[in-house]
Amino acid sequence: MADNSTRLKLLRSFSLTGLILSIVACIFVLTSSLQDQENGTIGNSYTWTWVLLILGVVSLFFLILSLALMLPATTQKSQAQIEGLLGLKAAVAFIFILFLILLIIGAIFWISASPAIYGPVYPIWMIPFFAWLTILSLLVLIFLVLLRNGSSLNKLVTLVLLLVILIAGIVVYLQFWNYGSPRKEDIYYTYLDGQRLLNGINPYERILSGNMQVNDKYSTYLPVFYYLSWGAQVAGLTAFGDWLSFWRVVFLVFNLLIASLLFCIPAKSNLIALSVFASLFWLFNRWTLHVGKTGDIDFVAIFFMLLSLAQFQSNRLLSYLLIGISLGLKQMGIFLIPLYLIWVWNEHEIHHWKNLVKAVFWIACIPVLVSLPFLVWNWEGYVRSILFSATRLAMAGFDVFSLDYVLGLNGALARLPLLVMLFLVYWVTWKRDVRLYLPALLVMAVFVFFNTVMFTSYMVWIIPLIPLVARDYLVQSKLAQTNPS
288-322 pLDDT, tens digit each:
999 999 889 999 999 999 999 999 998 999 999 99
Reply yes or no on whether the pLDDT at 462 is more than 50. yes
- pLDDT tier at 78, thresholds 50, 70, 90: confident
CA 379 to chain centre: 31
Reply yes or no on whether the pLDDT at 423 is more than 90. yes
**C-alpha dihedral sign at 436, 345, 422, 220:** negative
pLDDT of residue 317: 95
More confident position, 484 or 49: 49
- Yes or no: say if 324 and 363 are a contact pair by the CB < 8 Å rule: yes
- Yes or no: say if 248 and 292 are a contact pair by the CB < 8 Å rule: no
* Mean pLDDT confidence for 330-355: 87
For residue 265, give the nearest of 208, 321, 307, 323 by alpha carbon. 307
* Mean pLDDT confidence for 400-407: 82
Cα–Cα dist 387/321, whole Å: 23
pLDDT of residue 214: 76
- pLDDT tier at 106, thresholds 50, 70, 90: very high
- pLDDT tier at 225, thresholds 50, 70, 90: very high
Domain residues of the chain, as ranges?
4-151, 182-482
181: Cβ contacts below 8 Å, ≥ 6 apart: none
- pLDDT tier at 412, thresholds 50, 70, 90: confident
More confident position, 114 or 63: 63
Residue 214: how many CB atoms within 10 A of its CB? 11
152: Cβ contacts below 8 Å, ≥ 6 apart: none
The 3-state secondary structure of the chain reads CCCHHHHHHHHHHHHHHHHHHHHHHHHHHHHHHHHHHHHCCCCCHHHHHHHHHHHHHHHHHHHHHHHHHHCHHHHHHHHHHHHHHHCCHHHHHHHHHHHHHHHHHHHHHHHHCCCCCCCCCCCHHHHHHHHHHHHHHHHHHHHHHHHCCCCCHHHHHHHHHHHHHHHHHHHHHHHHHHCCCHHHCHHHHHHHHHHHHHCCCCHHHHHHHCCCCCCCCCCCCCCHHHHHHHHHHHCCCCCHHHHHHHHHHHHHHHHHHHHHHHHHHHHCCCCHHHHHHHHHHHHHCHHHHHHHHHCCCHHHHHHHHHHHHHHCCCCHHHHHHHHHHHHHHCHHHHHHHHHHHHHHHHCCCCCHHHHHHHHHHHHHHHHHHHHHHHHHHHHHHHHHHHHHHHHCCCCCHHHCCCHHHHHCCCHHHHHHHHHHHHHHHHHHHHHHCCCCHHHHHHHHHHHHHHCCCCCHHHHHHCCCHHHHHHHHHHHHHHHHHHCCC
Q: What is the pLDDT of residues 159-210, one digit of tens each?
A: 999 999 999 999 999 988 877 656 677 889 999 999 999 999 999 999 888 7
